Homo-oligomer: A and B are copies of this chain.
């Protein structure tokens, strides 16, 4: 009976004795997204944090622009820009301790970079030289996940494992509004809540899944309202307000770290660029809508707050911009170098040890390449 005794007290009881398992009220999000900047609420925020956020936002915007430019030069296979969403990307990175884990989607190279990853490494997948350019364990950044929402159960499992090991580690997982429709989103949130795993889910609701607007994605009052169905708190935040996103995430991370379990955070933001460089957003949205969002730009909102409170002046802005330019120049230069690739590596990591069959295939490819080299060798060159 040991195991049965360990089980929760919640046994099935007939309706006269029936009790809801948790009180739903505290789990429900507010009707309006939480905002800080320009509301006076930022007064309590740490000025150093605000300045740090600002520098990262500017750097992030520049990074997005540079990466997009690199697609035009054929240096990236594809780039899904997070321009307009920098507040979410940056806050997600800064809110974590070093020991914590970040689970990015394909759009979140900026979050990885803001966490300290080398931008060139972060862009490896999108450049096309390999699928991941960094050691996830070294940086505690999971590989960028292309299949939507599939990274969410990974984050839950990792957070759960850390908790079982007694480690004080939180996982933060990023997903888009479109990704919330996938079964994996549902299963991940449910596991997280049942296991009380120390994980935070940040949905960047940027209004679109490629061309499909939110209204075609869900009929819910908000995506944050999904939380109650898992028994976890749902929070709604202005995703362009870096201070607000940081605050809400910090609370959720602290809650998770303290053993309180997962939180679902919906950040309302907007994707200012097309889905990727390969997309043509004029096919599905009016430019006037994009323009309307410019007034609510994350950099603008924070700049306004910082200037108003005398925490930032022209010199400060210039310094931040210059630093961002340096990063961009360095990125440009390094991305313009061709990576060194060994086709033999194709067979190296499929298994711990290549199978006999893979060794044969590697030898075959080597022979082909040698023959090719012979063929193309300048006349008279002996091999």
Contact = CB atoms under 8 A, between A and B. Distances in A.
Contacts of A270: 12, 14
Interface string A14-33: 11101011111001100111
A305 to B, nearest CB: 15
Given A22-B220, A216-B194, A221-B21, A12 B207 contact: yes
Contacts of A21: 215, 218-222
A142 to B, nearest CB: 20
Nearest to A261: B219
A16 B215 CA distance: 19
A289 B11 contact: yes
Interface residues of A, number: 67
A124 interface: no
A239 to B, nearest CB: 8
A298 to B, nearest CB: 11
Nearest to A23: B221
Contact of A24 (B28, B181, B184, B230): B28
Contacts of A240: 14-15
A183 B189 CA distance: 11
Nearest to A194: B219
Given A7-B215, A220-B22, A15 B32 contact: yes
Contact of A183 (B12, B32, B182, B261): B182
A292 interface: yes
Scoring A21, A181, A187 by chain B CB atoms within 10 A of each residue's CB, the highest score goes to A21
Contact of A225 (B24, B181, B221): B24
Contacts of A231: 218-221
Nearest to A283: B4
Nearest to A191: B181
A187 B194 CA distance: 20
Given A24-B225, A225-B229, A218 B238 contact: no
A10 interface: yes
A366 interface: no
Nearest to A216: B194
A23 B20 CA distance: 22
A137 to B, nearest CB: 28
Contacts of A101: none
Given A229-B225, A230-B220, A232-B219, A33 B18 contact: yes
B14 A292 contact: yes
A268 interface: yes
9 contacts: A14-B295, A18-B33, A20-B222, A22-B221, A181-B186, A183-B186, A194-B217, A220-B231, A225-B228
Given A15-B240, A228-B229, 11 more contacts: A11-B289, A12-B270, A14-B240, A20-B222, A21-B222, A24-B28, A24-B221, A186-B186, A193-B220, A218-B230, A219-B232
